[in-house]
Each structure stands twice: as C-alpha cells, then as structure tokens.
Structure 1
C-alpha cells in the first residue's frame, strides 16, 4: 500500500506540470457538467481553489522584487554600448507593439463576452479607473516599502528597476570596496531569486488541484457554455501572435533591408523547439546555433542579444496578457477602459524585464496586470474563478507565447547585426 501511494505521488510530481494543469481543467469541466449545481460539492471544493489563489498572491511581490532587481542589475553598464542600447530599445519597442496587438485583438474579438460568472461568486467590486496623469504619477512611489507592503504593483516595479540599475552601476564601479559591496547585494538577491523559484515551483505543483476546483465550480454553475469563451481566448492569442510576426517582425526585416520570408524560414528550428519544450532557456542553444550557422549573426552580437532577450523580451507573453486581461474583465462584467488598458501596457512592459525565467511566469505576470488595473484576484471572487479558467488552458497558450518570445529574440539579434553591418549576407541568403 505504501509503495502504491509512493508510485502515485512519484508519477504526479514527475509528469509534465502544464499537462497536469490541462488535465485538471478537463476533469473539472467534465465533473462540473455531471454534477450540475451541486451545492455540497462546490462548498467542499471551494477552499481548494481559494488556497491556490492565496498562494499565488503570497509569492507575487517577492517574485517581482527579487527577479526585477536581478534582471535589471545583471546587464553590466560596460556592455551597454551601441549594441546594448540598440537591442534593449528594440526589445522594448517590440514588447510595446505586442501588448498593443494583444489589447487590440482582445478588443475586436471580445473573448469572454456572453459568459456571466457573477452568479457564481457574486458581483465583483468595480475597478477604479484613474486618469492618465495619475497613472503616470503613481508609478513613482513615495514610500517604496509601503508600496511593497501594500502589494502596489507599478510602484514596486519602478523602485526595483531603479534599485537594479543602480546596483549594476555599483558592480561596475572603479572602487573595489563599492564593487565588493554591490556583488554581495547582488548575490543576496540572486539567492533570494533561487529560493523564490523553488517556492514558485512548489506552488505550481498545487496548481492542477486548484484549477480543478475552480473549473468545477464554473462548469457546475454554467454548464458547457464556458467552452466557447475559452476557445475564443485561444483563438485570439494565436491571431495576435500571427499579427506580431506579420506586422512587427516582417516590417523590422524590411526596415533594415532584409527579406522577411527568409527570416520566417530560418527561424523555424528555434521556434518549433520553443513551441514543443515551452522553455526559452532550453531553446537558447538552438537559437544560438541557428543565429550563427543559418542567419550569419556573429557571436559578438548573438552572444549578448539572445541571453538578454531571454531575460527581458517577452513578446508572446505580453500578447497573452492583453488578451487574457480583456477576457477576465469581460467575464466579470467590467470591460477595461482606455486608462486601464494603458496601465496594462505599462505594467506588462516594465514587468517583462525580470520575470522571463520564472516557472509559471505567465500566471504571475497576469496576476500582476490584473492587480494593477484594480481587478483584485481575491479568494472566492468571480475574478479568481475567471483567472483559474485561464490557468486551465495555460498549456495550450504557453506553447504559442514561448515560441513567440524566442522568435522575438532572434529578430532582435538579426536586426542589430544588420544595422551594425555585421550580418554575413552569404550565410543569410544561402
């Protein structure tokens, strides 16, 4: 009996996490439709869903602080010459385009319209919509520790970016004492990041159970009508990804005089690898080999641009954030106005700098975005249930967004190499 239990647990923890989450979604939907309006079952399962939401909120701010400081301070100012400034500007520009595309596609296709969840968990509190000037002013915290304690996302991000950039300059100081002190601070936050990665990993191991509970409640109350909006979210995301390639990357190729069809053909190996593995880090060796041998990008450029891209460039994820934020807002009956969409843009753009390597990064970033526009993901709320629906199909969404993240990194390397006149044209045209 003990060996049987051990075998079951071993199978659970060794199997693919995103597959388990998807299975949790499917089983939750099936059992929810079988047990329609099962009040007793809902009361039993509701705490399991609430625990998952509370765990995610528990790790959100520590992850922001640790990963953003490490991400911002890991790029040495000594390397931020012409190439460094150019690639960071390129990544920021394409990420901005990506979140705008995500919001545009979401606004046109309106995923979530028609699915009412208010009867499941009550009416959500109306999100406050500050003006443009207030949004921009609120980015800068008057008390950063107060912002961290109160889980205010944008001010926390702002302070961590300032802190991380200052730490990078201190690490590069001419004073040995300053360098030593800065290295100690960096190692502390790097260690904290490693600890948080472990905690995030533990929390995400619970995700299939939490998703099952949240999805069961949705389908027990709403029935099969919830399938349509989830399919619409998936369709919206992949349309957004296609638009990012055609409207951003192809135009970037044309801007520097390159044939975009050649880029699309040659980027397929890392793109497919990322789609299958769902890991930008695991795809990095394939990306580097493709950049050098198939695209003619010199090592001096791809050796810097691709690792930096894996850290701060998340085009696919930002499209996902735009689409999913609109889906959740529509489901809870509080469509995002212009000011809130602008806040989504700012949050996604700033948060992309440090969270690329975090397991479950998409789920954590979506939580940050929702919190920043006043859609509080509180245990037992309709927003939490809608959030759980997104997590349920995260395996399908993650394949597309990770693939696009890597394609964006490759485009950055090619763009900089061509603009610096260091791209090997013979290899590119071969």
Structure 2
C-alpha cells in the first residue's frame, strides 16, 4: 500500500507538470477499475458466508444476541454520522470527474429500495450486480447453513457437506484475497495513471478535495467515539468514567493506529479487556473476536463518506432513497469486511456500484488510504471494547471496583481498591 501512496504522489506531480496530455494514461487506470469490478460478487459471497459461520446458534444466546444487536446499532449510527458529516462538509464538491461512468438518474423510491433487498432470483441479482440483494441472500444462506449444521447429527452427511461448504468458502476467500493482492500490485500503475489524468485535467484544486475527505472522516470518528462510545455507552449505559475507559484501552488504540488491522490488534484488545477493564472472559472471549470480524464502524462510516465524495465529484445529488441504500449496503458489507489493512477498498466497490457511482474514485483515494485506514481501525477497536464493556455490565460480568475503574481522577478522588475475587 505504501507503493500505491508513492504512485499517488508521483502521478499527481506528473499530472500537474504535464497538464492535459497526461490524460492519455487514463486507459491504464481504467483497467485497474475493471479489475476491481471483477471481484465484487465473489468476494462478497465468500466473506459473508465466513462471517455467518461466526453467528452460530450456539453462540447467539443472551450475551451473543446483545453483542450482535449492539454491533449492528453502533455501525448504523456510524454510517448515519458519516453521511451527515459528509453532507455538511461536502468533500469533493470542488472537483468534477468527467471520465467516470455514473448511473444514478433513475433511482427507485425508498419503498422500492426496501423491497429490492429481497431478490426474487438470486442468480439474476448476481448477474445484474444488485449488491444489496446479493448481500441479503448470502447472509440468509450462510445463517441457514449454521442452523442446519447445529441441528444435524455429528457424523451425518448433511453436517459433513455443510462443513465442506464452509471450508470451500474459506478457501475461496483466501483465493480472492490473493487476487486482491495481485490487483493492488497492478494498482501501483493504475493509481499513477489515474492521478496523472486527474491532476492533468483539474489541477491543484484536487488537493482540497482530499483534505476535505480526510477531515470529514476524522471529524465523524471523533463524534462516534466521543458521543456514541464515551457519552452514550460508557457514561449513560455503563455509568462509568469515559476517561478511565480510554486509559484502559490506550494500548489497543495505539496498536490499531500502528498496524491498521483489527484482527492483528485482537491479542492486545483482549489483554486490555481482561487486565484493565476487568471484563469476564466469557464476554470478551466472544465479543472481541466477533467484533474483529463483523463490527467495522469506522469502515462502514468511511464507505458512506466516500459515496458522498464520489457523488460530489461526479456532480450528482443523492436522493434520500439512495442514501438509505448506501446506509444499508455499507452496514451489510461491513459485516464481510476482513479485519486487515485497507480491506475496505474492496467493499467500497459494492457501495458505489449499488448507487451507480464511478469506481474511479477508489483508485483516486487509494493513495491516502493507509493514513485514513489507521483512524478507521482505531475506531473499530474502540467500538469493540465499548460494546464488550456494556455487555459485561448488563450481565454482571465486569468488575468496576478494580483495574482502571479505581483511582480515577475524573471522578474527583480515589476509590478504595478492592482485591477482585476470581
């Protein structure tokens, strides 16, 4: 990804230096976009089936149900915040993209958007690229597999067949990630070409669009963390100190900022939950690994912001129905987003395709994605730990008299330390 960042910078410099002749490089960038389009459907199917496997009936008891519902709720709020902030700041409004294809003129009304989530023909939905319908069917199919597997006899052919399907999906996902790696290797050329073409056409004004995009994400994340996690969840639902919580998760936050991977941060997150936040392992042992798989608040928020960014540079206005479609697609797509660096670039194709916005935008922002990805990953990790804390509180599975919860300066004094009992 850092080579793509270098290609981003060099392409921008070439475009500014050469001017309009740099647009002749556009076909090299168009090939990169077509390669991204090629992998949309298979990667959605494989990754969502893998995510559904984590939601087995055995795990979805009282605690599991609370965790999943909270993850979905915080993600939906994150997307709404991202859309609200980007509509207010309007990143990309100073730039007009003329080379990308746009197909948002005949967006259906909101009611039709809701019904279209359920496909009448899943195969047709895949052929037509109806992303919401594909995601819905894949999740239903994956959950159906987990239920049938749980009900089947241990040595039955049915259970063996479902295990084979899950293993096939896992293998397919690994293959797709390898293909993504290859595409991103070519992306060095594709991003260079698209940046040269963009800056050759628009000039220095494009830098303002990138600055507003980065600011929109940073501002939206600050709202999500301060209001949703700290004020509503920690102060409101847990009744604990937000500052104490931040002290307890600081190692996980720093790690997430450093390595840009929710999955890679998982050992640190679990250590913080256990030693600092004093959450029982029966809660965090389920909530944190699941969160690293399906809870991508920062990623989902970013998908919404990029959609508005793409609409602005394509000079189109998104209707309420289209923004609802973005929210629904980003919410469902985030479930299948791998907790690895810059995985959101792949899921971004699903969101933009759903509302007919140009995929060239993905290549345009790929160069600055490593920086923005750090912020998104940190948001994801903090969200996982905040949800784990409140679920621990609701189930008497957290010790608020030990760890970071004592001697908290934000409470105006110290609380006598008690020795926790195991």
Query: Under a length normalisation based on structure 1, what TM-score does the superposition of the two structures give?
Result: 0.90
Which residue number in structure 1 is paired with residue 305 of structure 2?
A: 323
Matches within 5 A, 1:81-230: 81-118=61-98, 121=99, 124-176=102-154, 177=156, 178-230=158-210
**Which runs of structure 2 are paired with 1:25-424 in the superposition (5 Å)?**
25-38=8-21, 41-43=22-24, 45-118=25-98, 121=99, 124-176=102-154, 177=156, 178-250=158-230, 251-254=232-235, 255-357=237-339, 360-377=342-359, 384=360, 386-424=361-399
Provide Cα deviations, 1:175-202, integer angstroms capped at 9, x if missing partner: 2322222111111111111111111111
Shift of 1:122: 7.3
C-alpha contact (below 8 Å) 1:201/1:359 kept by paired residues? no
Please give the per-residue CA displacement for 1:240-271, whole angstroms capped at 9, x wherever unaligned: 00000111001111222111121122221111
- Structure 2 distance, partners of 1:137, 1:93, is 21
Distance 1:122 1:395 in 2: 24
String of CA shifts for 1:367-408, please: whole Å, max 9, x gaps.
11111112253xxxxxx2x33222221112111111111111
Provide the rounded CA distance (Å) in 1 between the counterparts of 2:17 and 2:47: 43
8 A Cα contact 2:247 2:404, kept in partner: no
Query: How many Å separate the matches in 2 of 1:192 and 1:58?
Result: 15
Q: 1:9-60 CA distances to partner (integer Å, 9 max, x unpaired)?
A: xxxxxxxx2x11211111111111110111xx432x2221011101101111
Gaps of 5+ in 2: 407-422
Counterpart CA distance in 2 for 1:429 and 1:75 is 31
Give the distance between the partners of 2:347 and 2:318, measured in 1 at CA.
17
Cα distance in 2 for residues equivalent to 1:195 and 1:90:
32
Equivalent pair of 1:20/1:208 in contact (CA under 8 Å)? yes
Note if contact 1:284-1:307 (Cα within 8 Å) is conserved in structure 2.
Answer: yes
State the distance in 1 between where 2:183 and 2:4 align.
12
Query: CA distance change for structure 1 residues 77 and 360 in 2, over 3 Å: closer, same or farther?
Result: same
> Contact 1:200/1:360 (CA < 8 Å) preserved in 2?
no
Give the gaps of 5 or more residues in structure 1: 1-16, 378-383
Q: What is the CA deviation profile of residues 288-322 of structure 1, one whole-angstrom value per residue up to 9, with x for unaligned ones?
A: 11110011011111111000000100000111112
What SS does the aligned partner of 1:224 have? Answer: coil
Relative to the length of structure 2, the TM-score reads 0.92
- Contact 1:101 / 1:244 at 8 angstroms: preserved in 2? yes
In 2, the alpha carbon distance for the partners of 1:154 and 1:322 equals: 15
For residues 239 and 263 of structure 1, the distance between their equivalents in structure 2, rounded to whole angstroms, comes to 21
Q: Distance in 2 between matches of 1:174 and 1:50?
A: 48
Q: Describe the shift of the 1:34–1:232 C-alpha distance in structure 2 as closer, same or farther (beyond 3 A).
A: same
